[in-house]
Chains A and B, each alone.
Chain A
Amino acid sequence: MDPILDVKNIYTYFYTESGIVEALDGVSFDVMPREPVGIVGESGCGKTVTAKSALRILDKNGRTISGEIIYKGVDLLKLPDMQMRRIRGKEIAMIFQDPMTSLNPIFRIEDQMTEVISLHRKCGKKEAKEIAIEMLDQVGIPDAEKRIIDYPHQFSGGMRQRILIARALSLQPSLLIADEPTTALDVTIQAQVLEIIKEMQKKLGLAMMLITHNLGVVAEITKRVHIFYGGRVVESGLTEDIFLNPKHPYTYALFESIPSLEVDKTRLETIPGMVPRLINPPKGCRFHPRCKFATEVCSRIRPPEIEFGRGRRVACHHFEELNLYIGKDVLREKTVQRDQVKEEV
């Protein structure tokens, strides 16, 4: 099967007064049809820039200077503007992080939804309204028929995020990009919204790119994950494989640094230093200044991406030697601890 979205070696730079920000530095990954894929990383690692590059909605000072973004066999980067407009929303829809600012406060929900629907689906206003009501109903807005004439401020955060999901899905896109869809929400509301996203993804057979820093959300929704660090993909593979057996030192450290509900740790493993600035990024492997396994070669040569197993890719010079150490350690510790917890109960 061909991937629905195939990102090949893209470089996106931002030109600022203080220098060139190398936001994406040779990023490659793919999304299969009907597959939920996670893009994971800390702030400033290039998650959102990747999505914006694909939709060509970068800020004015940003440009994708090389690479290919193949969507259903067509290179989006070479498409004329007019055709690109038909892709945005209709083919690839996006939900943004902040439900408070993604809706225009001075228009009714009805207007904001029917405008998009009648434009892309080429239908009359009445029909558009029917579609809108049906979509709102599906995402669990009670009394959709009455509430569609309300303004955004009359809805809570969770409800607004549902409206955005409804609006994005009303155009029947093939690919949905969800950029931190639940970050601004409380846990109980997050659980509601995640449930809807999961349900709609299955029902409509959507391919989905879920951008998040929350490892719990990723584990729950996605089948495959790409881990980003400093504008590069450091590791990708099946969610199961990566979560149970991380191979890249960064992925490993990331998992070790989150407090867990299952395992009691007195001290958390930390990653020294902070997320690199991409104006003058580290040479070689971008993680090397913070990596405890780094050697001289890491600071000189960019690590190649090594492929193995079930579509697993890791970009690390020392992955072969670390293989045993990292993998076993995590697995053993977690299983042992979980068994102990069970016994206590």
Chain B
Amino acid sequence: MASDSFEKFETVDLFSDWDAKTQPIVNLINLKKWFPVSQQALLFSKVVANIKAVDGVNLFLNKGETLGLVGESGCGKSTTARVAVKLEEPTEGSVYFKGIDIFRPMTREEELAIKRQLQMVFQDPYSSLNPRRMILDIIKEPYDIHFPDMTYEEKESRVLEILAKVGLEDYHALRYPHEFSGGQRQRLGIARALAINPEVILLDEPVSALDVSVQAQILNLLHDLQIDFNLTFMFIAHDLSVIKHVSDRVAVMYLGKIMEMCPTGELFRRTAHPYSVSLLSAIPRPDPRIKMDRIILEGDVPSPIDPPTGCPFHPRCYKAQEICSQVTPQLELMDPNHYVSCHFPEK
């Protein structure tokens, strides 16, 4: 069955103004997501602070590429992704998908039309599948929501088709999630995201819960699917060697902000931001011959409730000067395609 047969179900034409050659497919502009911390005072609770999980992210995805988003835990990678697929409302800023602001007031049809093309795969393959539902029902659900007019037989045959695409068998459709291993569950998560033929998939740490030998299988599967379906990926991970393997461009995130964004090779050859430099040097290399001078960062990542003034990285930075604690550097173009937010980038 041809995958373009979905077109007969399209009801709204939203993206006619969008030009794939000149415009990014997903564009995050000054995106902020703050979570309020409230305290109970007598009857009413009042907001005493904000966790600034995402604090002014500028980021874009071009059609057909893989953007790797890397950073340590708590830096806001997952929150960024959740806002970008409209699972959370942003506090400030906007998300454009094919030139449409996805948070503008819109009809149900328009909203579905966007979500149909923008899907997400979650990190934990154990908690992202409902244990009480059969695989057939789990993967069929996107069709129930997006294509209610489709016949049951057609949905079923599409589920089997998609299972085959991710390397599972027909009989798996009648099983329950607990009967699958971690790697197979991650395949199911991918199948569910892929079911309605989206253009963009946000992958939130899709391989971090897996063993290395299984991780390689999933990475290869994603690579094949990207070519088969002409997909655009945003790949979130904390493992830089995985990021290097999968992505065309990389964005490095720290405390809710993008520190550096550039083509993957560039990040490893001409690292510009001191945080990226330290991050790269901290990775233990699986080769006993490599002896490297390591930049070991002092201390921990500061709390996002009360981030440092100026550049969020300045208290741990080896190049920090007075200006870094006063003026927040903006994400600026240093070389073609190489964005850095630092007052004193490495040349």
Contact = CB atoms under 8 A, between A and B. Distances in A.
Contact of A191 (B244, B269, B282): B282
Contact of A219 (B72, B246, B282, B286): B286
Interface stretch (A10-18, A98-106, A200-208, A210-218): A210-218
Contacts of B284: 190-191, 194, 214, 216-217, 219-220
Contact of B220 (A158, A190, A268): A268
Contacts of A239: 288
B19 to A, nearest CB: 30
Contacts of B72: 186-189
Interface string A275-286: 100000000000
Given A253-B213, A254-B213, A259-B241, A344 B286 contact: no
A257 B286 contact: no
Contacts of A194: 284
Nearest to A214: B284
Contacts, number: 124
Interface string B211-226: 1111111011001000
Contacts of A216: 283-286
B296 interface: yes
A243 interface: yes
Contacts of B246: 259
Interface string B274-297: 000011011111111110001011
A42 B240 contact: no
A332 to B, nearest CB: 15
B211 A187 contact: no
B213 A219 contact: no
Contact of A345 (B240, B269, B297): B269
B197 to A, nearest CB: 24
Contact of B212 (A218, A240, A243, A254): A254
B244 A187 contact: no
Contact of A274 (B214, B278, B282, B287): B214
Given A186-B72, A191-B296, A259 B213 contact: no
Interface in B207-266: 211-217, 219-220, 223, 238, 240-242, 244-246
Contacts of A345: 269
B312 to A, nearest CB: 14
B169 to A, nearest CB: 14
Given A270-B213, A270-B220, A274-B183, A259 B285 contact: no
Given A213-B211, A213-B212, A257-B213, A188 B288 contact: no
The size class of the interface chain B forms with chain A is: 35 or more
A186 B213 contact: no
A129 B281 CA distance: 37
A151 B296 CA distance: 26
A150 interface: no
In terms of DSSP, what is the predominant structure of the interface of chain A? helix
Interface string B184-224: 00000000000000000000000000011111110110010
> Quick one: which of B72, B183, B269, B300 has the most chain A CB within 10 A?
B300
Contacts of A215: 286
B336 to A, nearest CB: 18
Contacts of A258: 212, 215-216, 241, 286
Nearest to A253: B213
Residue among A42, A187, A269 with most chain B CB within 10 A = A187
B9 to A, nearest CB: 35
Contacts of B269: 344-345
A310 interface: no
Contacts of A195: 294, 296
B321 interface: no
Contacts of B279: 187-188
Contact of B297 (A188, A213, A257, A344): A188
Nearest to A242: B288
A258 B239 CA distance: 11
B147 interface: no
A123 interface: no
Interface hub of A213, A244, A254, A259 (most chain B Cβ within 10 A): A259
A80 to B, nearest CB: 39
Nearest to B70: A187
What are the 6 tightest A-B residue pairs by CB atom distance, in nearest-first order?
A216-B284, A259-B245, A215-B286, A257-B216, A191-B282, A186-B72
Given A213-B211, A219-B288, A240-B289, 8 more contacts: A42-B213, A43-B211, A186-B73, A191-B281, A220-B288, A258-B286, A266-B223, A268-B219
Interface of B: 72-73, 181, 183, 211-217, 219-220, 223, 238, 240-242, 244-246, 268-269, 278-279, 281-290, 294, 296-297, 300-301
5 contacts: A186-B72, A215-B286, A243-B288, A271-B216, A275-B211
